[in-house]
Amino acid sequence: MGFSLVFHFFGLNHKQIFLIICMIGATVQISYLLYRFFSYELLTTCHVGDPESTLLPDIAICFPILDAINYTALFLNYPSILGELGYRPGTRVTYELIHSIRAKVSDNYLLFFFQERLKIDQLWKQIVNSSMIYRKAFVHKATDDDIIRLPCSSNDFFMEKEYCYSFTCSSAYNSSEPIVTEKVDLYKKLTTQEVFTLEVPQSFFRTIDFYWVSLIPRGELPRGNKIKWESQEAYDIARKHTFFFYYIEIRRLGPPYPTNCANYSDRGYLSRVDMEDKCEINLSLQKIGSPLPTSIVDKPLDAPFGSYILEKNIQNETYLDSISKIAEACLQIASQPDCYEINYFPLSRTPLPIQGNYTEITVEQVSDPIYTISIEPKMTLLDLIISIGSVLGTWLGFSIVDSIPQVASFIGVKFFNLPLRKDDQYRDNSSSKLSVPSAYLVRPKSHSKKKDIQKRAPPFYTYYDDKNEWPLFYNVRARPWWPR
């Protein structure tokens, strides 16, 4: 009785009230879906497994600066340095002389001695030719028929107290196309798994004690504290040094999702650490006249070494304060993490003796599980559309097949004055009942139920004998079973 009064007061019938309730339910549920979508909730997933294909990273190999200096050219171009070391200018430079100089003082003191008297570009010119450090660098590319070798290009740079090379391997047809290794290559190559090989002359290798290897994303340099370095001892006899690796891949969502990540390629940089390092070099050259000690110098600069300036001003608070301000300013500029980040972790195997006059430094294909961390939206735009369609179908009976043509027809007729379709006109006219005379109605012929069953029954049937429980077949015409 109370509901009837309410309906009568608002002038609504039961059908209209039910429609209003459905509209309210659909509105509330759609509002909740929109709230969830525009909240940009995140879901973190982690996948561990063997990749089907892997992009070959760049390989960085570093040697101590003192081991890479051409002492003959150094003392010839700067004879005063030889005199300051206690030898007469013009003394013949031999291996024994170099060994004697390095035996008198520590390596740190000798490097500081050279950096005090030479700038970056001056010492850069005194480095031995690359052909004396490595013979060739190439990548192994497996084909269906054979394994081909493709040469790799290199870039050299200074990093703190090391002189390094970064090797980038590309396709034979396009220098910008990277090398992609696939898991199926392991079956093509059978026993070998190497994808990169560097041949180092044993004449150079026996003069060093250690070297360092790291793997970096293509086109970048080993900047930042996330770079994993693997050290290896050098030997007098030729050996094969093998490295293998795994990596961690992180994928973040850009704006408007609250990951605060940035695509630094849009700003003209390769990554966040690339922007931070170049910012530090530019600011430090302007403020203190030299790069910071931890900066990577990839080109000759007419400036002193940062490690020398730091050692010289280690007690100077003004200098230390300037370094701190430079680092903080660049960190503030590049404070957002990368939307895509990949970190490689090389590991080494025990070096094995080989025949020849060259030491081989090889990198194997990825065989260990890799880690992929992805930050994904909890609700995508497709999820929102599907959910709204489900809500409309549940509460209002909305159907894409039926409702959209009706809505389109309504809009066309009401707002664009389009003519009504013939099907719609027929549907409207056929809504009234038609009275058809009984004489024109066609009725089916009457026949007995028994004949109808006989007509629809199969020609053969199967039943089980009660005694023998054996299926027996009978002809329906000879002995029908349904009259029994």
DSSP code per residue over 211-224: EEEEEE-TT----S
Say which amino acid occupies 365: Q
Integer Cα distance of 59 and 36 in angstroms: 45
3-class DSSP assignment, residue 26: helix
3-class DSSP assignment, residue 396: helix
3-class DSSP assignment, residue 342: strand
The per-residue pLDDT for range 363-409, each reduced to its tens digit, is 988 877 889 999 999 999 999 999 998 998 888 888 777 777 777 77
For each of the chain's 484 residues, which pLDDT tens digit applies? Answer: 455 555 555 566 778 788 888 989 999 999 999 999 999 999 999 999 888 778 889 999 999 999 999 999 999 999 899 889 888 877 888 888 888 998 888 999 999 999 999 999 999 999 999 999 999 999 988 777 777 888 999 999 999 889 999 999 887 666 677 777 776 666 665 556 788 999 999 999 988 999 999 999 998 999 888 899 999 999 989 999 999 999 999 999 998 999 999 999 999 999 999 999 999 999 999 999 999 988 999 999 999 999 889 988 989 999 999 999 999 999 999 999 999 999 999 999 999 999 989 999 999 888 778 899 999 999 999 999 999 989 988 888 887 777 777 777 767 776 777 676 555 554 555 444 444 455 444 455 555 554 554 444 444 444 444 444 444 444 444 444 444 4
Whether 161 and 311 have beta carbons less than 8 Å apart is answered as no
Whether 359 and 200 have beta carbons less than 8 Å apart is answered as yes
Integer Cα distance of 130 and 128 in angstroms: 6
Say which amino acid occupies 239: R
> What are the sequence ranges of the domains in the chain?
1-41+378-398, 53-69+127-261+339-375, 263-336, 399-432, 450-484
The per-residue pLDDT for range 52-107, each reduced to its tens digit, is 778 889 999 999 999 999 999 999 999 899 889 888 877 888 888 888 998 888 99
Integer Cα distance of 36 and 30 in angstroms: 10
Say which amino acid occupies 340: Y
34 token code pair: 């929109």
Whether 275 and 264 have beta carbons less than 8 Å apart is answered as yes
pTM: 0.76
Q: Which positions ≥6 away from 275 have C-beta within 8 Å?
A: 264, 267, 269, 333, 334
Burial class (CB in 10 A: 0-12, 13-18, 19+), 132: middle
Residue 256 preceded by cis peptide, ω within 30: yes
Q: What is the CB neighbour count within 10 angstroms for residue 29?
A: 17
Pairing of strands 239-251, 370-377: parallel
